Amino acid sequence: MLYQLYETQRALLAPFADFAQATSKLYTNPLLPMAQWPFAQRISAGFDLFYRLGKGYEKPEFDIQSVPVHGVKVTILERVEIDKPFCELRRFKRFSDDPETLDTLLTQPPVLVVAPLSGHYATLLRDTVKSLLSDHKVFITDWKNARLVPLKDGEFHLDDYINYVQEFIRYLQQQYGNCHVISVCQPTVPVLAAVSLMASRGETTPLTMTMMGGPIDARRTPTAVNNLAVQRSFEWFENNVIYRVPDNYPGAGRRVYPGFLQYSGFVAMNPDRHANSHYDYFKNLVKGDDASVEQHRKFYDEYNAVLDMDADYYLETIQTVFQDFKLVNGTWDVRAPDGTLERVKPQDITSTALFTIEGELDDISGSGQTRAAQELCANIPATMRLHYDVMGAGHYGIFSGRRWRDMVYPKVRGFIYAHQPAPAADSAPVNDGELVHAEDAAPQVAPHSAPRTPTTAKPAPASRARRRGTR
Q: How far apart are CA 278 and CA 284, in angstroms?
A: 10
Residue range 200-225: average pLDDT? 95
How many Å separate Cα 284 from the centre of its chain?
A: 30
Tell me what the pLDDT averaged over the chain comes to: 87
E-strand ranges in 61-158 read 66-69, 72-84, 87-95, 110-114, 137-143
Is 462 or 259 the better-scoring residue by pLDDT? 259
Alpha-carbon span 34 to 20, nearest angstrom = 15
Q: What share of the chain in percent tops pLDDT 70?
A: 90
In order of start, what are the domains of the chain with their CATH numbers? 2-56+274-303 (no CATH), 66-239+308-418 (3.40.50.1820)
In this prediction, residue 425 has a pLDDT band, given cuts at 50, 70 and 90, of low
Q: CB–CB of 269/260 below 8 Å? A: no
Query: What gap in Å lies between CA 192 and CA 283, rounded to an integer?
Result: 46
Q: What angle do CA 338, 339, 342 make, to 5 degrees?
A: 105
Query: What pLDDT sits at residue 119?
Result: 86
- For residue 420, give the amino acid letter: Q
Residue 169: the pLDDT is: 98
**Is pLDDT of 460 > 60?**
no
Tally the residues of the chain: 471
What is the H or E stretch that residue 173 is in? Answer: helix 158-176
Across 209-227, average pLDDT: 93
Contact 114, 183 (CB under 8 A): yes
137 contacts 69 by C-beta, under 8 angstroms: no
* 121, 59 contact by CB (below 8 A): yes
User: What percent of the chain stands above pLDDT 90?
Assistant: 63
How many Å apart are CA 62 and CA 77, to the nearest integer?
Answer: 11
Confidence of residue 430 (pLDDT cuts 50, 70, 90): very low
Q: Which residues of 373-384 are buried (b: 16+ CB within 10 A; e: fewer)?
A: bbebbeebeeeb
Give bridge partners of residue 244 from the DSSP assignment.
255
Please tell me the distance from the alpha carbon of residue 456 to that of residue 470, in angstroms, as a whole number. 20
Within 13 Å and on the Cβ side, how many CA atoms surround 171? 19
Q: What is the DSSP letter of 405?
A: I
Task: Using alpha carbons only, give the angle 197, 200, 412 rounded to the nearest 5 degrees.
Answer: 60
Q: According to the model, what pLDDT value does residue 457 have?
A: 34
* Alpha-helix runs per DSSP H in 243-345: 259-269, 271-287, 290-303, 311-317, 326-329
16 has a pLDDT exceeding 70: yes
Q: Are 113 and 128 in contact (CB under 8 A)?
A: yes
In angstroms, rounded to a whole number, what is the distance separating the alpha carbons of residues 77 and 71? 19
H/E stretch holding 208 reads strand 208-212
The pLDDT tens digits of the residues spanning 153-197 come to 999 999 999 999 999 999 999 999 999 999 999 999 999 999 999
β strands within 394-457, DSSP E: none
First to last CA, the chain: 51
Burial class (CB in 10 A: 0-12, 13-18, 19+), 61: exposed
- Rounded distance, CA 257 to CA 146, Å? 9
Q: Would you call 308 helix, strand, or coil by DSSP?
A: coil
pLDDT at residue number 438: 63
Secondary structure of residue 39 in the 3-state scheme? coil
For residues 471 and 467, give the distance between their C-alpha atoms in angstroms, rounded to a whole number.
9
388-421: per-residue pLDDT in tens?
Answer: 999 999 999 999 999 999 999 999 999 999 999 8
Helices (H) and strands (E) in the chain, counts: 16, 14
Please state, as a whole number, how many other Cβ atoms lie within 10 Å of the Cβ of residue 28: 18
CA distance 126 to 60: 10
Q: Each residue of 350-372: pLDDT tens digit?
A: 999 999 999 999 989 999 999 99
> CB of 256 within 8 A of CB of 312?
no
**For residue 415, what is the enclosing H or E element?**
helix 409-418
Q: What is the pTM (predicted TM-score) of this model?
A: 0.86
pLDDT digits (tens, 9 = 90+) for 75-120: 999 999 999 999 999 999 999 998 999 999 999 999 999 999 988 8
* Distance, CA of 142 to CA of 64 (rounded, Å): 15
Q: From residue 50, how far is each of 138, 191, 264, 283, 309 by CA, in Å?
A: 38, 41, 18, 14, 28
* Helical residues (DSSP H) of 343-391, grouped into ranges: 372-376
